Amino acid sequence: MSKKILFITYHFPPYNCIGALRTGKTVKKLTDLGYSVRVVSASNQVLPKDLPMEIDIDKVFYTDWFDVNWPINKLLGAQGIASLKNEVSRKNNIKSKIIEWLKLRYSKFIHVPDQHIGWYFSAVKKSYSVIEDGFTPDIIFSSATPYTSHLVAKKVSRKYNIPWIAEFRDLWSDNHYRKSSFFDRWLEKRTMYSSNAMITVSKPLTQIMVTKYKQPIYTIQSGYDAEDFKFQINVTSSQKINIVYTGSIYEGKRDPSPLFKALSSCKNLQKNVVLNFYGNSLNFISDLSKEYNLESIVNIHDSIPRSEILNIQKKADILLLLTWNSPKEKGILTGKFFEYIASENAILSIGAIKDTPSEIVVKDKFGIASNDPEEITKFINSYYKGKYNNNLMTRNKYDRQIQINKLAEIIDKHAK
Distance CA 65, CA 61 (A): 13
The per-residue pLDDT for 88 is 40
| Of 42, 20, 134, 26, residue with least CA distance to 407 | 26
Measured CA to CA in angstroms, residue 207 lies from 179, 185, 203, 340 at distances of 21, 17, 6, 26
d(CA 238, CA 35): 48
Neighbours of 305 (CB within 10 A): 12
Give the three-class secondary structure for 369.
strand
Q: The whole model's pTM is what?
A: 0.82
412 to 33, 114, 129, 138, 304: CA distances (angstroms): 12, 31, 24, 9, 39
Give me the helix-helix angle, 373-381 and 257-264, nearest 10°: 70
User: Please, how many CA atoms are within 13 Å of residue 95, restricted to the half-sphere of its CB?
Assistant: 7
Number of C-beta neighbours around residue 265 at 10 A = 13
The sign of the torsion formed by the CA atoms of 129, 134, 135, 137 equals positive
* Rounded alpha-carbon distances, angstroms, from residue 344 to 49, 341, 391: 29, 6, 9
Amino acid at 4: K
Q: Do residues 184 and 401 touch, judged by C-beta distance below 8 A?
A: no
Domains of the chain: 4-66+114-223+401-414 (3.40.50.2000), 70-110 (no CATH), 226-396 (3.40.50.2000)
pLDDT in tens, the chain (416 residues): 589 999 999 999 999 888 999 999 999 999 999 999 999 999 999 888 988 899 999 999 999 998 877 766 666 555 555 444 454 444 556 655 666 666 666 666 677 788 899 999 999 999 999 999 999 999 999 999 999 999 999 999 999 999 999 999 989 988 776 777 788 889 999 999 999 999 999 888 999 999 999 999 999 988 888 888 776 666 665 678 899 998 877 766 778 889 999 988 888 888 889 999 988 767 778 888 889 898 898 898 888 888 788 889 988 999 999 887 655 556 566 778 888 888 888 999 988 887 788 888 888 888 899 999 999 998 988 876 556 655 666 788 889 999 999 999 999 999 98
What is the distance between the alpha carbons of residues 134 and 240, in angstroms, rounded to a whole number? 60
Paired strand residues for 245: 277
- Position 46 scores a pLDDT of 87
- Considering only CA atoms, which of 338, 266, 256 is closest in space to residue 300? 256
3-class DSSP state for residue 8? strand
Distance CA 259, CA 375 (A): 10
167 close to 173: Cβ distance less than 8 angstroms = no
